[in-house]
């Protein structure tokens, strides 16, 4: 850099030769240039260090921000692909539910018919058993009545010697003989 003394001497020569006219604007310009030059020489290293730290902080912040943005984009891409997979699985599930509903609706009448047949079969079996029991009961009641009737007929025919009952036995005996 140039020596300050040389610059000062050269400035005085230019002023003396009236090449540079000293007025307020020129003096303010000279003061501003001197201030800037002194600041850069004396405080320049501190400012450079501060600006360097700030630039590193901004650079690190930008790297972190870009890494976060990259991670976010990767996650969004993964979510998008997962969403497509889930959507396709829901479509498959929808088709299965449609098939299940259709099968259920188609087989429901068959199921109802089978269930009603089972119920009717149980009822018919119950009625059949009831008829058999009733038939047995009627046979027992009739046999008891016939037994009592035959006892009364025997009593009236043999013991009491009632003629109508004796004649009745002969008619029944003749009918049996004709059948045989």
pLDDT digits (tens, 9 = 90+) for 25-49: 888 988 898 888 888 888 878 888 8
pLDDT above 90 as % of the chain: 14
Quote the CA–CA distance of 163 and 159 in Å, as a whole number: 11
- 111 belongs to a structural domain: no
Quote the CA–CA distance of 11 and 20 in Å, as a whole number: 8
Query: What would the pLDDT profile of 85-139 be if each residue is shown by its tens digit?
Result: 888 888 988 898 889 888 888 887 888 888 888 888 888 888 888 888 888 888 8
Which residues, at least 6 apart from 166, have a Cβ–Cβ distance to it below 8 Å? 157
Cα dihedral 93, 97, 100, 106 sign = negative
- 173 belongs to a structural domain: yes
For residue 165, what are the domain limits?
134-179
* In contact, 47 and 41? CB cutoff 8 Å: no
What value does the mean pLDDT take over residues 15-22? 81
- 80 belongs to a structural domain: no
Q: For residue 159, what pLDDT is reported? A: 64
User: How many domains are there within the chain?
Assistant: 1
For residue 150, the tally of other CB atoms under 10 A from its CB is: 11
Give the 3-state secondary structure of residue 43. coil
- 118 belongs to a structural domain: no
- 40 belongs to a structural domain: no
- 172 belongs to a structural domain: yes
pTM score above 0.75: no
């Amino acid at each position: 850099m140039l020596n300050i003394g040389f610059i000062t001497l050269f400035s005085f020569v230019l002023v003396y030769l009236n090449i540079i006219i000293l007025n307020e604007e020129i003096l303010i310009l000279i003061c501003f240039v001197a201030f800037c030059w002194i600041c850069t020489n004396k405080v320049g290293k501190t400012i450079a260090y501060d600006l360097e730290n700030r630039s590193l902080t901004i650079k690190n912040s930008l790297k972190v921000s870009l890494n976060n943005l990259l991670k976010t984009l990767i996650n969004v891409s993964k979510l998008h692909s997962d969403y497509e997979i889930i959507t396709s699985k829901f479509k498959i599930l929808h088709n299965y539910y449609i098939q299940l509903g259709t099968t259920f609706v188609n087989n429901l009448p068959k199921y109802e018919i089978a269930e009603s047949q089972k119920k009717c079969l149980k009822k018919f079996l119950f009625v059949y058993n009831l008829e058999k029991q009733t038939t047995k009961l009627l046979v027992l009641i009739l046999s008891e009545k016939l037994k009592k009737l035959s006892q009364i007929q025997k009593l009236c025919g043999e013991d009491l010697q009632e003629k109508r009952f004796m004649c009745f036995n002969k008619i029944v005996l003749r009918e049996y003989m004709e059948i045989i």
